[in-house]
């Protein structure tokens, strides 16, 4: 008699390699029902991450079909869907890879309790992070709040090898019904030309693994020098794939670690960056309010401006500050933004425009195909000065000085700012093709005047900061 199947509930783990939840089901010798649920948490994603989820699901469904399996798609409350699919297939239960944001944790623990009470298997596994957030603790047993000791705590920690890719999946004799991805219209909110962002996205597990190999071969050696220059292809671009779990962080870690031991310059810097992601999730797990509230409560008294017309110009890449506008247009056109540019764009909004970091955080959440709630919240609070281990508020990035230092030839700005160029490059043109008509901006208009002179903006920010200090 056929063994009862197991459901693998895929969420942000759209891969076949290094997938403990899937491996455990395969090792149990059970037929597998791969399932994705469009539940209210997934429905609530910002426009670009939701569109990118659709692309990721399509690629993952193709990989499963390559193994003779399929991805079942269902919409609804996760617990109800799981109950129905268990009933339809006679499954023994469900496995999933853990998530660590407060909303997913609340949902998953309720589901685990309910399914177990009904006599089903409900097991969660690691896979989204290198270490479980509760495994890394200070001497007192508490969470870390500062990056450097966190890095020291994890750098030498034993990490089990990555699991090989699953190559065979037993199929159930009765497939449950599936909805159609096209009907879900996950790109519906991309009123800014999903086809433009689509040109720049690198979707799926196979592409992610190639990307890693290419990065290690071609760019790791110079990573420490090149990673700050947004015009150079100096970084891995893997945040896009990590966000949906198309590659496992452990696979990246081991590959870079091997290169470190072969003496590759740049490898340690790269591993440290990967650990910044880990640190963000450590913080977010222990302090889930950090995505909404100032980490340091004294910042609640700061005179932030709420959303405002200057912030709208910032969102549209029309502040008149070339490095900032290039950064904002890069994000709108490609769905990602270079890390240096993120810091400059975020600093400009929170300091020169005195606007609440949450206004910026929300826009990034809507535009980034590598959106990650922990890294985004940590990044914004770090730049704003309100976060743990943050840059002090008075350290205000000067976008013009930063441009001279990190974009000395102007290549990054020219790539994304069409104005004033006789034949602008494709990304600069793409921005104007992507923006909604309601913005009423065209590339043949003059480049905007500065919203605020840099020295005035700086002085205004420092005065507001003095107000906070009393």
The residue ranges that bind ligand FAD (CB under 6 A) are 227, 235-239, 242-243, 273-274, 276-277, 280, 339, 342-343, 346, 364, 368, 370-372, 375-376, 379-380, 383
* Residue number closest to ligand FAD, CB atom: 379
List Cα–Cα distances, 4 to 10, 166, 175, in angstroms: 19, 19, 12
CB-nearer residue toward ligand FAD: 295 or 432: 295
* Active-site pick, 51, 357, 371, 382: 357
Q: What is the dihedral of CA 17, 18, 20, 22, to 10 degrees?
A: 0
CA atoms within 13 A on the CB side of 45: 29
- Is 175 catalytic? The answer is no
3-state secondary structure of 124: strand
Closest contact distance (angstroms) between CB of 337 and ligand FAD is 7
Q: Which CB, 186 or 369, lies closer to ligand FAD?
A: 369
Known catalytic residue: 304?
Answer: yes
Residues contacting residue 252 through CB under 8 Å, at least 6 positions apart: 212, 236, 238, 242, 274
Q: Which is nearer to ligand FAD, 363 or 465 (CB)?
A: 363
Q: Which of 88, 92, 268, 339 is catalytic?
A: 339
Q: How far is the CB of 339 from ligand FAD (least distance, A)?
A: 3
Q: Do 255 and 216 contact (CB within 8 A), yes or no? A: yes
List the Cα angle 225/229/233 in 5-degree steps: 90
Name the residue nearer to ligand FAD (CB basis): 86 or 242.
242
User: Shortest Cβ distance from residue 413 to ligand FAD (Å)?
Assistant: 18
Catalytic one of 205, 380, 382, 398: 380
Closest CA to 229 of 339, 330, 332: 339
Least separation in angstroms between residue 369's CB and ligand FAD is 9
- Per annotation, catalytic residue among 184, 253, 281, 304: 304
- Listed residue (339, 354, 465) closest to 402, CA to CA: 339
CB of 301 to ligand FAD, least distance (A): 23
What is the rounded distance in angstroms from the CA atom of residue 283 to the CA atom of residue 38?
27
In angstroms, what is the minimal distance from the CB of 269 to ligand FAD?
Answer: 9
Burial 238-276 (b: 16+ CB within 10 A, else e): bbbbbbbbbbbbbbbbbbbbebeeeebebbbebbebbbb
Nearer to ligand FAD (CB atom), residue 321 or residue 372:
372
Contact 268, 260 (CB under 8 A): yes
Active-site annotation holder among 88, 92, 132, 273: 273
The yes-or-no answer on residue 365 being catalytic is no
- Of 132, 276, 308, 439, the catalytic one is 276
Q: Which residues are catalytic?
A: 273, 276, 304, 339, 357, 380
């Amino acid at each position: 008699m056929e063994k009862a199947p197991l459901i693998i509930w895929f969420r942000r783990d759209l891969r076949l390699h290094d997938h403990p939840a899937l491996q455990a089901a395969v090792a149990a010798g059970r037929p597998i029902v791969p399932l994705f649920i469009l539940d209210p948490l997934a429905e609530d994603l910002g426009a670009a991450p939701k569109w990118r989820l659709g692309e990721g699901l399509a690629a993952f469904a193709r990989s499963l079909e390559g193994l003779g399996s399929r991805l079942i798609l269902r919409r609804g409350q996760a617990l109800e869907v799981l109950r129905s699919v268990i009933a339809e297939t006679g499954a023994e239960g469900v496995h999933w890879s853990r998530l660590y944001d407060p909303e997913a944790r609340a949902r998953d623990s309720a589901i685990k309790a309910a399914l177990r009470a009904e006599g089903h298997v409900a097991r969660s596994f690691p896979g989204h992070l290198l270490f479980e957030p509760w495994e890394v603790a200070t001497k007192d047993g508490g969470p870390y709040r500062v990056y450097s000791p966190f890095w020291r705590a994890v750098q030498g920690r034993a990490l089990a090898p990555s699991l090989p890719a699953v190559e065979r999946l037993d199929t159930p004799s009765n497939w449950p019904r599936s909805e159609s991805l096209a009907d879900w219209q996950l790109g519906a909110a991309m009123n800014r030309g999903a086809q433009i962002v689509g040109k720049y996205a690198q979707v799926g597990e196979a592409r992610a693994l190639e990307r890693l190999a290419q990065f290690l071969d071609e760019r790791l050696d110079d990573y420490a020098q090149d990673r700050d220059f947004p015009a150079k292809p100096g970084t891995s671009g893997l945040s896009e794939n990590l966000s949906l779990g198309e590659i496992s962080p452990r696979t990246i870690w081991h590959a870079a670690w091997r290169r470190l031991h072969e003496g590759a310059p740049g490898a340690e810097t790269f591993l440290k960056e990967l650990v910044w992601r880990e640190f963000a999730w450590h913080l977010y797990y222990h302090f889930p309010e950090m995505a909404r509230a100032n980490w340091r409560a004294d910042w609640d008294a700061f005179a932030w401006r709420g959303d405002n017309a200057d912030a709208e110009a910032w969102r549209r890449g029309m502040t008149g500050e070339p490095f900032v506008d290039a950064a904002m247009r890069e994000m709108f056109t490609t769905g990602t933004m270079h890390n240096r540019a993120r810091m400059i764009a975020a600093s400009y909004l929170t300091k020169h425009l005195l606007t609440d970091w949450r206004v910026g955080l929300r826009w990034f959440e809507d535009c980034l195909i590598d959106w990650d709630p922990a890294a985004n919240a940590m990044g914004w609070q770090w730049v704003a000065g309100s976060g743990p281990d943050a840059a002090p508020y008075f350290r205000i990035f000067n976008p013009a000085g930063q441009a001279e230092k990190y974009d000395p030839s102007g290549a990054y700005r020219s790539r994304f700012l069409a104005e004033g160029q006789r034949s602008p490059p494709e990304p600069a043109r793409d921005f104007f093709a992507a923006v909604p008509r309601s913005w009423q901006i065209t590339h043949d208009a003059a480049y905007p005047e500065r919203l605020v002179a840099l020295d005035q903006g700086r002085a205004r920010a420092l005065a507001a900061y003095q107000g906070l200090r009393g």
